[in-house]
């Protein structure tokens, strides 16, 4: 039988202790916010969609200038001029930039006289930016070709995105980092607590009181749900107010904020219970957490991952949380969220029951 009163008094003592520990508080609440600020700042240059591209205009006529203006006004490229006296290849290398454009010397004249002329586009095929640069240059070149013959485009494009608003990197980053903090706080804390309490015999001490294992575990889970919710609100606020993230906050998030910490608290508890000492526990905890952290779409949207890593992600519980948070916050895809919730719920129940059953107050 679980007593709410005992669970609550354990919750109170544990929570108060947690709040008195500055290190825990920093990693619990401040660190995820710092990550959002940091990653947001790193990628905010890209987040408006412009790619920096260097251009050397060897032509001195008006058409080349118009062409570069047209590239700039696509909103995709941010064209920076490079002096004709520079060795262009060396310049790109010196600026660690794969993308560059050279407009040849007789561009305006050739254009006017209908003589074929080639724009050189530098790029690195393995980088997604290079494809965008050459595609954009190609598009603008076609437009100029059409114009030269006074033609109009028959096939046009209406550009839009999957969701109604334009998604930016920070929109993906926030659900990812919320997932990250849902994993990290409960998991690492419970690995540490359960192995330390076993070693220092604090569990034995607690077994001499009417507090039950289930009540103890429940109080930890409730604490980490509470902490994850506070952390979630902070991160969402920073994302929205600092980076102008377009994320949706709805009641659909609640299952993830409740199940997620429960899942990882139970997982941490299991690791601490099944290992012999705190050192081993911490190593095993890291071995489980780190791949999950990086392969569950935490820092980058999953579609950027190669196929085999995307397949592998499906065995990681965090994937379903990140995926679900993205489905709710970015795509408003609630049927996908429902599937994610179901998967997370099943894993959570299994791990919680296993943790409660396997962990022992006392030794034989």
Partner 1 sequence: MIPVEISSIKKAYGNIKAVDGVSFSVEEGEIFALLGPNGAGKTTLIEIMEGLRKRDEGAVKVLGLDPWENGYELHRKIGVISQDFIFFDKANPREAVKYYADLFGVSVDPDDILREVLLEDSAGVLFENLSGGQKRKMGFALSLVNSPELLFLDEPTTGLDPNARRAIWDVIRGLRSKGKTVILTTHYLDEAQQLSDRVAIMNHGRIVAMGTSDEIIEAHGSGERLEIHGTEELAAYVRANTNLKVEYNGKGVISVALKEKIDALAALAAVEQSGLDWGEIQTRRDSLDDVFVKLVSGTIDEHGEIRAEQSSYDAANQRRR
Residue with smaller CB distance to partner 1, 239 or 268: 268
Distance in Å from the first CA to the final CA of the chain = 23
Residue with smaller CB distance to partner 1, 16 or 314: 16
Smallest distance from partner 1 to CB 363, Å: 7
Smallest distance from partner 1 to CB 200, Å: 5
Dihedral, CA of residue 225, residue 229, residue 231 and residue 232, to nearest 10:
130
CB 205 within 8 A of CB 362: no
> How far apart are the C-alpha atoms of 261 and 217, rounded to whole Å?
12
Residue with smaller CB distance to partner 1, 125 or 210: 210
Smallest distance from partner 1 to CB 269, Å: 17
Smallest distance from partner 1 to CB 15, Å: 10
Smallest distance from partner 1 to CB 330, Å: 39
Residue 166 DSSP code: P
> How far apart are the C-alpha atoms of 6 and 11, rounded to whole Å?
8
Residue with smaller CB distance to partner 1, 6 or 310: 6
> Which residues contribute to the site for partner 1 (CB under 8 A)?
5-6, 9-10, 12-14, 16-18, 20-21, 200-202, 204-205, 207-212, 362-364
Smallest distance from partner 1 to CB 228, Å: 20
Smallest distance from partner 1 to CB 292, Å: 29
Residue with smaller CB distance to partner 1, 174 or 193: 193
CB-based burial of residue 28 (10 Å sphere; 0-12 exposed, 13-18 middle, 19+ buried)? buried
CB 356 within 8 A of CB 272: no
Smallest distance from partner 1 to CB 240, Å: 34
Residue with smaller CB distance to partner 1, 120 or 205: 205
Residue with smaller CB distance to partner 1, 64 or 212: 212
Residue 20 DSSP code: T
Smallest distance from partner 1 to CB 216, Å: 10
The strand pair at 120-122 and 100-103 is best described as: antiparallel
- With tokens 């007593």, the residue in question is 3
> How far apart are the C-alpha atoms of 331 and 164, rounded to whole Å?
9
CB proximity list for 99: less than 8 A, separation 6 or greater: 51, 52, 53, 54, 92, 121, 122, 123, 124, 127, 129, 130, 133
Buried b (16+ CB within 10 A) or exposed e, 225-240: bebbbebbebbbebbe
CB 56 within 8 A of CB 68: no
The residues with which 102 forms a beta bridge, in sequence order, are 56, 120
Residue with smaller CB distance to partner 1, 13 or 350: 13
> How far apart are the C-alpha atoms of 354 and 351, rounded to whole Å?
5
Residue with smaller CB distance to partner 1, 23 or 157: 23
What Å distances lie between residue 154 and 143, 146, 157, 160, CA to CA?
A: 12, 11, 10, 19
């Amino acid at each position: 039988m679980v007593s709410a009163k005992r669970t609550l008094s354990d919750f109170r003592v544990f929570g108060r202790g947690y709040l008195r520990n500055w290190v825990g508080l920093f990693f619990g609440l401040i660190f995820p916010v710092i990550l959002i600020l940091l990653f947001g700042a790193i990628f905010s240059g890209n987040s408006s969609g412009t790619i920096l591209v260097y251009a050397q205009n060897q032509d001195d006529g008006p058409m080349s200038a118009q062409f570069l203006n047209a590239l700039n006004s696509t909103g995709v490229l941010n064209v920076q001029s490079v002096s004709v006296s520079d060795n262009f290849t060396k310049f790109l290398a010196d600026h660690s930039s794969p993308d560059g454009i050279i407009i040849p010397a007789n561009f305006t004249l050739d254009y006017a006289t209908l003589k074929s002329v080639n724009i050189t586009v530098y790029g690195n095929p393995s980088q997604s930016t290079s494809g965008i640069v050459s595609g954009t240059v190609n598009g603008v070149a076609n437009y100029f070709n059409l114009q030269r013959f006074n033609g109009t485009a028959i096939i046009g494009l209406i550009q839009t995105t999957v969701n109604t608003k334009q998604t930016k990197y920070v929109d993906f980053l926030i659900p990812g980092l919320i997932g990250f903090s849902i994993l990290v706080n409960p998991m690492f804390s419970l690995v540490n607590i359960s192995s330390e309490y076993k070693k220092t015999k604090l569990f034995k001490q607690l077994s001499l009181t009417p507090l039950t294992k289930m009540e103890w575990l429940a109080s930890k889970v409730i604490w980490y749900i509470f902490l994850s919710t506070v952390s979630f609100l902070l991160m969402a606020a920073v994302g929205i107010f600092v980076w102008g993230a377009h994320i949706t906050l709805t009641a659909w998030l609640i299952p993830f904020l409740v199940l997620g910490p429960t899942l990882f608290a139970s997982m941490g508890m299991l690791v601490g219970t099944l290992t012999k000492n705190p050192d081993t526990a911490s190593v095993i905890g890291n071995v489980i957490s780190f791949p999950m952290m990086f392969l569950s779409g935490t820092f980058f949207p999953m579609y950027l991952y190669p196929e085999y890593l995307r397949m592998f992600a499906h065995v990681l519980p965090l994937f379903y949380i990140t995926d679900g948070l993205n489905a709710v916050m970015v795509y408003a895809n609630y049927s996908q969220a429902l599937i994610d919730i179901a998967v997370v719920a099943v894993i959570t129940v299994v791990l919680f029951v296993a943790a409660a059953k396997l962990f022992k107050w006392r030794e034989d």
